[in-house]
Structure 1
């Protein structure tokens, strides 16, 4: 009788252990299985890889123009490396701006940007950019500054934007207030100051 109870207890213990081990295994597998399910079905807004491009991403293009402005207080030469480029809706674009410090001392600048026409702003997405971060250039130093972006294919469905074929991305570089105070207010920076490099 005691042997029978002991065997039954061992079977129950083994079954309980197997159940716990199985549940632990499933919990670890749940995340990759759920991710796989989302990739296959697009559930929960997951981007699907390897499928067809979004509607309009291949057939429809817009031209993105690049403009560069320098505030008179900043002794930099700042310009777009390219005047414009065609971009398929939904595709990633990569452009470059160039900045050079023409002063004989380090100078710190910061850029702001805007997109025109303003109505396209919600469809223009930057994934990497140099705006709003202070940049310090040493005397005579020049740098290339990349900006990567894409234009949402939904722009072609909006009655307010579907006829737009050209978008302008405009950057303006300013001298930071801290740098201006360090170097004695806003001194003149040379003949290039105020130059606007636009397409």
Structure 2
């Protein structure tokens, strides 16, 4: 018995179904592409992945681990083409784990026009990022400095005492908090 060739109607229906499936896959991939940045940011903030620090409210209560100190080192950088000087007021602090601390960074616009910058940050060793918590930071918002303006920018932070119970951090004696300021592009600001 011979099989009949598919009718043009069956072929059109299969082609439409294939086209709809391909369009659905494409739209799903596009949606995942847009969602990947915020999802990755949330993942990093929750886990401290890649040295991402935590964020807390000023009213958060943390138990101070008296007798447990740690050295915090501050690193500052500016991206190429960023006309700022940027440095920590004090390059290191010895802190009590769990106690709130404040570090000051100083930025100066060396150009003859206003410059807006945004700071990216990370913590090393990276596994300590899950325990380094910022309450207030200049890195949470863009900073605009007028020509020649110098500002003092605080960071209020603490190291969560849970770091003392983490086997991955048992040898951590110093944490480095590093910032890099990047210029905010003017066309990006206008949108």
| TM-score of the aligned structures, taking structure 1 as reference length | 0.62
**Mapped partners of 1:165, 1:74: distance in 2:** 33
Please state how far the C-alpha of 1:47 moved relative to its aligned partner: 5.0
**Mapped partners of 1:77, 1:179: distance in 2:** 24
Query: Residue 76 of structure 1 aligns with which residue?
Result: 84
Query: After the TM superposition, which residues 45-194 of structure 1 pair with which residues of structure 2 at under 5 Å, given as runs?
Result: 54=64, 57-178=65-186
Contact 1:65–1:84 under 8 Å retained in 2: yes
Please state how far the C-alpha of 1:177 moved relative to its aligned partner: 1.6
**Mapped partners of 2:187, 2:83: distance in 1:** 12
Structure of larger gyration radius: 1
Q: CA RMSD in A?
A: 2.1
Q: Deviations over 1:61-92 (max 9, x none)?
A: 11000000011121000111111000111101
Query: Residue 45 of structure 2 aligns with which residue?
Result: none
**Mapped partners of 1:167, 1:103: distance in 2:** 33
Contact 1:123–1:154 under 8 Å retained in 2: yes
**Mapped partners of 2:61, 2:184: distance in 1:** 39
| TM-score of the aligned structures, taking structure 2 as reference length | 0.64
Segments of 5+ residues of structure 1 without an aligned counterpart are 1-45, 183-199
| Secondary structure of residue in 2 paired with 1:66 | strand
Segments of 5+ residues of structure 2 without an aligned counterpart are 1-59
Q: Which runs of 4+ in 1 moved over 4 A?
A: 179-182
**Mapped partners of 2:132, 2:61: distance in 1:** 18
Q: Deviations over 1:113-164 (max 9, x none)?
A: 1000000011000000011411111111000000010001111111100220
